[in-house]
Amino acid sequence: MRPGISITLKPAMRRRLAVLARDRNAAHKQVWRAEIVLLSAAGIGTNEIMRRTGKSKTCVWRWQERLMQEGYEGLLRDKTRPSRIPALGTNVAERVVALSQTDPPAEATQWTAVMMAKAVDISASSVHRIWREHGLQPHRVKQFKLSTDPRFVAKLRDIVGLYVDPPAHAVVLSVDEKSKIPALDRSQPGPPMKPGRAGTMTHDDKRHGTTTPFAALNVLDGTVIGRNMQRHRHQEFIRFLNTVEAQVPRRKTIHAIVDNYATHKHPKVQQWLARHPRWTFHFTPTSVSWLNAVEGFFAKLSRRRLKRGVFRSLTDLQAAINRFVAETNNDPKPFVWTADPKKIIAAVRRGYQVLDSFHEDEGSCAQNKSQDGRRSG
């Protein structure tokens, strides 16, 4: 025992250490650490502990002190050792962060770790670590589109109102089309998935024409009225409206949510609406097609049925779409709107504020460059 150290274990601690020392699934280093402590508590001398455990004197003393300082948990973890590689200074990280937010040199659109490492004279792994610590991802770009519709707020509230509080004795339909879906057949059959191997599919395909499915989603009960068309002109849209008109009970008024595609605003469509007064169109704000609930149905159709589908003819594709519509109607799910319109409006306003400040910064930079050029001239 090291002079000045006396280890006395409580019964509960002794039981925990004894279990650890006998545990075949525990890490080996934890087992012999427990043995050192148990032998020390039994009054065994340092030399005898060294003989029984095969450890050095400093090792025995180290784990005796660790137990005294940190208890049982201290035996389970190692102290962090200092890295042999000198740490980067804070100024290096600051320089990497600053450069990452500027345009890269030469004909490149984004910084790479190798380019940054060369510019700052550090390793690429250090660049990756700094980027990770500061939440920088130069290889990623998120797309966005802010609506320029002057009636954005009014249209948003109108459509959300239809979702959360629809009029009495009315049907609310979300209407749209997905244009030119190709009937793709693969040039060669691909082996299916099996354990240890993903399913395969040739990158090239055979095309058998396109179809345009029109859909009207009833947001109250989740059912879908669908019809495939060869094209997506106003003539096809009117034929689809006639299909919906025939299927909705006569006593119901119809509120249709549509986007700003030119077909939906065609004069012939307006004339059709005049002849069918129970219909009212509600247009989404420009560039806000995601507000139209039927977009979710089309996304599900693409993801579940079309993305990896193999269609040997146009008829095959149209039949698959029709089956998917029927499957949806067999187990419909009402559309539930959950987003707060106030938060959407606030987010759009923040977006415009960011864009305005960005344009102001660009303008001041351009003005400064122009003034510098005149001075040098």
Any idea where the domains of the chain sit in the sequence? 11-75, 90-133, 155-330, 348-377
**pLDDT value at residue 312:** 85
Could you tell me if 226 and 327 are in contact, meaning their C-beta atoms sit under 8 angstroms apart? no
- Given a cut of 70, whether residue 43 has pLDDT beyond it is yes
Q: In this structure, what token pair is assigned to residue 373?
A: 């050029």
Q: How many residues does the chain have?
A: 377
Cα–Cα dist 297/216, whole Å: 10
Please report the pLDDT score of residue 325 as a whole number. Answer: 93
Q: Is beta strand 253-258 parallel, antiparallel or unpaired with respect to 170-177?
A: parallel
- Is pLDDT above 70 for 81? no
Residues 362, 328: Cα–Cα separation, whole Å = 50
- If one looks up domain 155-330 in CATH, what number appears? 3.30.420.10
pLDDT of residue 273: 93
What's the confidence (pLDDT) of residue 361?
57
Beta strands in the chain (DSSP E): 170-177, 181-186, 205-218, 224-229, 253-258, 279-283
pTM for the whole structure = 0.65
Q: Are 40 and 62 in contact (CB under 8 A)?
A: no
Whether residue 109 is predicted with pLDDT greater than 80 in this model: the reply is: yes
d(CA 147, CA 135): 28
pLDDT in tens, 253-276: 999 999 988 889 999 999 999 999
Average pLDDT over residues 200-211: 81
Residue 78 region, left (φ>0) first, then alpha (ψ -120 to 50), else beta?
beta
The distance in angstroms from the start CA to the end CA of the chain is 85
Q: What is the pLDDT of residue 223?
A: 93
User: Is residue 274 within 8 Å of residue 238, measured between CB atoms?
Assistant: no
How much is the pLDDT for 58?
A: 87
Residue 59 has pLDDT above 90, yes or no: no
Placement of tokens 């920088």 in the chain? 136
Q: Say whether 178 sits in a helix, a strand or coil.
A: coil
What is the pLDDT, as a whole number, of residue 376? 47
Question: With 90 as the cut, is the pLDDT of residue 204 above it?
Answer: no
What integer pLDDT is reported at residue 84 of this predicted model? 63
Residue 17 has pLDDT above 90, yes or no: no
Integer angstrom CA distances of residue 60 from 18, 72, 82, 147, 308:
17, 15, 22, 71, 63
pLDDT in tens, 216-254: 999 999 999 999 998 888 999 999 999 999 999 989 999
pLDDT band at 181 (very low <50, low <70, confident <90, very high): confident
Spatial distance between the Cα atoms of 68 and 41, rounded to a whole number of angstroms: 12
